[in-house]
Amino acid sequence: MKKILLGLLPLLLFTFIMPTPASAHVLIKDDSHMLGAVLHVSPDDDPIAGHPSDLIFDVSDSSVPITKNNYQAQLLVNGAQVDASISGSFVIARYTFQSQGIFDLELLLTPQNPINPAWHFHYVQRVSRGITAQGAISQSPAWAPPLLIGSITMLLCLLLLALGRRRRIAAYSHIKK
């Protein structure tokens, strides 16, 4: 039984070590808390400074559909306007964060028809990878964490194996004397 568990332990740990692309989304509400939007920032909702990122807002309203015929979208990043387009219920923009830091994202949806409500969304985006304010790229190599975890796993397996055979080792050492 111990051999089976020892054999499965590295496989189980290897399964959790393998990197997989993340796809987390953030739900944000407008200022009136009447409408929600799902925000996705590529890559993996953790943008890299100095590289282009896609900002995708999925805004759904059952009473008035958010389309380019009904609304005009304006996206502001730290107060600077960014080109944004509406495609179906999505507001899509491409933006390159210049350096690591905290960025205020504001999405303003202005109705074409004044009868429809205007929507204002606000979100604070943290950029922690890529170019720092000094211009250097600080990122650890991709191979380092799996190598460290694999080494610790193998060390633990050897330790378990040695502890499991300690009686045989003790008996053998008494015979040799």
Cα–Cα nearest to 121, from 59, 71, 49, 166:
59
**Average pLDDT for 44-65:** 84
How much is the pLDDT for 31? 85
Is 175 buried (19+), middle (13-18) or exposed (0-12) by CB count in 10 A? exposed
Q: What is the mean pLDDT of residues 33-42?
A: 86
What does pTM read for this prediction? 0.60
Cβ-contact 69, 86 below 8 angstroms: no
Q: Of residues 19 and 86, which shows the higher confidence score?
A: 86
Q: Which CATH architecture has domain 26-130?
A: Sandwich (2.60)
Which pLDDT band, with edges at 50, 70 and 90, does 53 fall under? Answer: very high
pLDDT tens-digit readout, 60-119:
776 777 778 888 999 999 999 999 988 888 899 999 998 898 999 999 988 888 888 888
